[in-house]
Amino acid sequence: MKKFDIPEYYRSPIISKVKTQRKLEDPRKKDFAPTLLDFGNVSFVISRHFGFCYGVENAIEISYRAIQDNPDKSIFLLSQMIHNPEVNSDLESQGVRFIQDTEGNQLIPWEEVGADDIVIIPAFGTTLETRKLLEEKGIDTVTYNTTCPFVEKVWNRSAKLGNTDHTIIIHGKHKHEETKATFSHSKENAPSVIILNMQEAETLAEFILGKRNPDEFYEVFSEKYSVGFDAMRDLRRIGVVNQTTMLASETQAIADYLKGKIVERYGEENLKDHFADTRDTLCYATNDNQSATIRLLEEDADLAIVVGGYNSSNTSHLVELLEERFPTYFIQNKDEIISEGLIRSYNIHSQEVHEHLSFLPDSDKTKIVITSGASCPDSTVDGVIQRILELKKSPITIDQIQL
């Protein structure tokens, strides 16, 4: 796989050492068992797969190249390049400005962006409408387009489904930049509707089976369907794609469920005429990170720590998995660990930051599961590990650790 040129300060002495060793031992990434780092009075169970994925490293390389190549030009990002506060803050510190926030609210008027400026398209991609706007302004939309190749793969698959008269069911969060971009592309080729989870898939199935009045569809899925969508006609032939950062297992479960409802409606013998197999749209990195996190559930540990941006979709799903088994703390960086007895952690359900007392057990030996999202630098995870080692006054140093 390509090696990207990203700032050295995003790498780290501990994590780099772990990843290098695992790559030597398991070059084909078939072993999802974690790595154990034992520092005497505290040990870390580190996920086999975590941190920057191919798409994120690609986006970082292109973004920093844009800065280096254009020292005398105004440089803009359509929105956050990835969902990580440290990376975005670093880009801002080097003069990059965000045109919109993650909700699509305008931060810089379009009138202030001109043909001589550099506009970076983030890893999530952008809508056809925004791309057209940029092109009409004479702005280059190719050189600094950091759209993840796996997101583009979903767009290409959607186009093929549209060409075979399938309606596109998008498993995603309808306000997320990636899903908005995917929806923009898919609706050009086919009727499209966005569903968030299995509950919404079950609701959609009621319309597929004709158990609900089609007129109710437009209220139930308000703002989530393409213009001209016909609930009577457009649910007879479907294919499921996803926002690449969703739980891959949930996307597959939704596809399997809807496939079953299609069989119920049209019969097994007619399945191929009404349902498209879209397993090839699942992102390998999302799959690997989630599979490695599921493997962590087999460990006997005191707690779990997940590191990443609070608005990171893929990171929140890792939290979902781990909190079923361990007390789990979702933190942005080492600064959330105030002391041995106090940590600030983001609650993905209430969407609030809470303080937790005595999060580190008062024991001679503490075992911590740790992982991070695909947009989190290894150096940030390294900082969390070092912060805990400092608080626990561990007798073994990083240089002495054996893999």
Whether the Cβ atoms of residue 389 and residue 42 lie closer than 8 Å to each other: yes
Instruction: Provide the annotated active-site residues.
Output: 178
Can you tell me the distance from the alpha carbon of 223 to that of 221, in angstroms, rounded to the nearest whole number?
Answer: 6
Report phi then psi at 181, rounded to 5. -70, -45
Q: Which residues are paired to 98 by β-bridges?
A: 77
Whether the Cβ atoms of residue 174 and residue 196 lie closer than 8 Å to each other: yes
Residues 6+ apart with CB under 8 A from 57: 4, 6
Q: Which residues are paired to 171 by β-bridges?
A: 195, 242
| C-beta neighbour count of 89 within 10 angstroms | 10
Residues 6+ apart with CB under 8 A from 179: 170, 172, 173, 194, 243
CA angle 152–154–157, rounded 5-degree value: 110
